[in-house]
Structure 1
Amino acid sequence: MDGQSRFPRQRTSSGGAFRVTGSGQGAPAGASGTAGAAGVTRPGVPAPGCALNRRLHLALEAADLVAVGAVRRRLRAALGHWGVPELADTAELLTSELVTNALQHTGQGAVFDAVLTGDQRLRIEVQDGEAGLPARRREPDAEYATSGRGLLLVEALADSWGVQLRGDGKVTWFELAVAEL
């Protein structure tokens, strides 16, 4: 299944630095846990294949680097609410890298989406309006630079990641698997 059909774009009107849409604040009343390994349930996490997947959607204004911290806090809170706080440290670090790159290097705003899927994978997408692919530093002194290691971190820590070009820019994404109990 391609990323577009799994994560349909929800446009938000301009205004605040970001806005949550969808089910960004957790499960509806009465949502049950999921059966993990050996029938163990995880509170607040939908059963595999359940339509109650968790989603956090934020729209960020151009060059608003202060919003990066707010995105991290919202993501950590959502992951705790969804029952997967163990993903927070890695997800926050990699999210910071992708969101900062989008806001700093494109001169435009960005759209952030986090989804906990029914098959217990966290997918983070950052969409920006720049069609150019992100690149690693290639200069001889790159190892001494104070920036430019974000994609190396994403590559090293994510279970999978990539870039999808679209007509209105690109989406840089990564996925983290929830560890089995």
Structure 2
Amino acid sequence: MEASVPKRGDEAVGGAPGDGSVQLRRRLGRADLRAVPEARGALRELLRHWGRPGRAETAELLASELVTNALVHTDRDAILTATVGPRRLRVEVRDFVGRRPRPRAPGDGEDTHGRGLLLVQSLADAWGVRAQGVGKVVWFELDGGGG
């Protein structure tokens, strides 16, 4: 139920009892591209001591791609959720438009849309899209590499 979702900028930290996970949840305002560096910073702080070298930076890059896509292509609010466990990170960006994103190969044309998903596809250990109520969730996972 959406009533439990924090307002933009609010963060909830905590995970399921006993599983060692920590969660960041942030509402991102409609078409507010300032939310992209803010989300990156919050994720950077959350991942300060997580994973092998370079994994946190990869997570920041991929999360910023998903956040940017949600804000630019939907013109609606979005919700970023990052769940960090001892061995795995899962980042989800929920928006409120049902149209599914499609990765597009770079071509000779000027169209740059869809290329961020190619980064997600090539750098994430797993990723996908699932329908959720009115809208969808685009997610990725990274293995922390024993960190």
Q: TM-score range by the shorter chain?
A: 0.7 to 0.9
Specify the code of the residue in structure 2 equivalent to 1:103.
Answer: L
Deviation at 1:124, TM superposition (A): 0.2
Q: Does 1:72 align with 2:40?
A: yes
Unaligned 5+ runs, structure 1: 1-8, 25-48
Rounded Cα–Cα distance in structure 2 between residues aligned with 1:159 and 1:138: 20
Deviation at 1:51, TM superposition (A): 2.8
Q: Does 1:18 align with 2:9?
A: yes
Where in structure 2 are the equivalents of 1:24-173 lying within 5 Å? Answer: 50-80=18-48, 82-84=49-51, 86=53, 87-118=55-86, 120-137=87-104, 141-142=108-109, 145-173=111-139
Deviation at 1:21, TM superposition (A): 1.4
Rounded Cα–Cα distance in structure 2 between residues aligned with 1:10 and 1:52: 22
Deviation at 1:67, TM superposition (A): 1.0
The count of aligned residue pairs is: 144
Any conservation in 2 of the 1:136–1:151 contact (CA below 8 Å)? yes
TM-score by length of 2: 0.85
Q: CA RMSD in A?
A: 2.6
Rounded Cα–Cα distance in structure 2 between residues aligned with 1:85 and 1:78: 14
Specify the code of the residue in structure 1 equivalent to 2:6.
Answer: T
| Structure with the greater alpha carbon radius of gyration | 1
Deviation readout 1:2-61 (Å, 9 max, x if unpaired) = xxxxxxx94124xxx42101328xxxxxxxxxxxxxxxxxxxxxxxx9333111111010
Unaligned 5+ runs, structure 2: none
Structure with larger RCO (C-alpha < 8 A, sep 6+): 2
Rounded Cα–Cα distance in structure 1 between residues aligned with 2:97 and 2:84: 26
Rounded Cα–Cα distance in structure 2 between residues aligned with 1:105 and 1:61: 13
Rounded Cα–Cα distance in structure 2 between residues aligned with 1:180 and 1:85: 7
Identity %: 43
Any conservation in 2 of the 1:102–1:128 contact (CA below 8 Å)? yes
Rounded Cα–Cα distance in structure 1 between residues aligned with 2:121 and 2:135: 21
TM-score by length of 1: 0.70
